[in-house]
Amino acid sequence: MTNLSRRLLACALTASLAFAAGAPAWAGEAAPNRMAAQGVDASPARAKNIILFLADAGGVSTLNAASLMAYGEPLKLHIQQWPHLGLSETSPVDQFVSDSANGMSSIMTGVKTRNGVISQTPDAVRGRQDGAPAKTLLEYAEERGLRTGVISSQSIADATPAATYAHSNDRAKWGEIFPQAFTPRFGDGVDVLFGAGRQKIGEQLAAKGSSFEALSQTHDRPIYARLDEAPASNTRPVVVGDQMDVRAATLRALDLLQAAPEGYLLVVEWDAHTDDARKGLQNIADFDRLIAEVEGRVDLSDTLLLFTADHSFGLQVDGGRRGEPVLEGYDAWKAAGSDEDIVRLENVLVNRTHTAEEVPALAIGAGADGVRGYFPNTRLFHVMMEAWGWGAADHPTR
Ligand SMILES: [Zn+2]
Question: Taking the model in full, what pTM does it have?
Answer: 0.89
Separation CA 60–CA 291 (nearest Å): 17
CA of 151 to the centre of ligand 1 (A): 15
Q: pLDDT digits over 176-234, tens only? A: 999 999 999 999 999 999 999 999 999 999 999 999 999 999 999 999 999 999 999 99
Q: What is the pairing mode between strands 348-355 and 147-155?
A: unpaired
Q: Where is 7: in which H helix or E strand?
A: helix 3-20
* Same domain, residue pair 244 and 114: yes
Say what the pLDDT of residue 18 is: 38
CA of 17 to the centre of ligand 1 (A): 42
Q: pLDDT digits over 263-319, tens only? A: 999 999 999 999 999 999 999 999 999 999 999 999 999 999 999 999 999 999 999
* Same domain, residue pair 194 and 156: yes
The number of folded domains in the chain is 2
* Same domain, residue pair 36 and 178: no
The range of the structural domain enclosing residue 20 comes to 1-42
Say what the pLDDT of residue 395 is: 53
CA of 378 to the centre of ligand 1 (A): 16
CA of 313 to the centre of ligand 1 (A): 9
Q: Where are the beta strands (DSSP E) in the chain?
A: 49-56, 84-89, 147-155, 192-196, 223-224, 238-240, 264-271, 303-308, 312-317, 342-344, 348-355, 359-365, 373-376
* Same domain, residue pair 175 and 256: yes
* Same domain, residue pair 113 and 248: yes
CA of 155 to the centre of ligand 1 (A): 12
* Same domain, residue pair 28 and 100: no
CA of 319 to the centre of ligand 1 (A): 26
* Same domain, residue pair 195 and 312: yes
* Same domain, residue pair 9 and 69: no
* Same domain, residue pair 108 and 25: no
CA of 251 to the centre of ligand 1 (A): 23
CA of 11 to the centre of ligand 1 (A): 39
* Same domain, residue pair 12 and 96: no
CA of 16 to the centre of ligand 1 (A): 43
Indicate which CATH number applies to the domain containing 215.
Answer: 3.40.720.10
* Same domain, residue pair 127 and 257: yes
* Same domain, residue pair 313 and 344: yes
CA of 82 to the centre of ligand 1 (A): 23
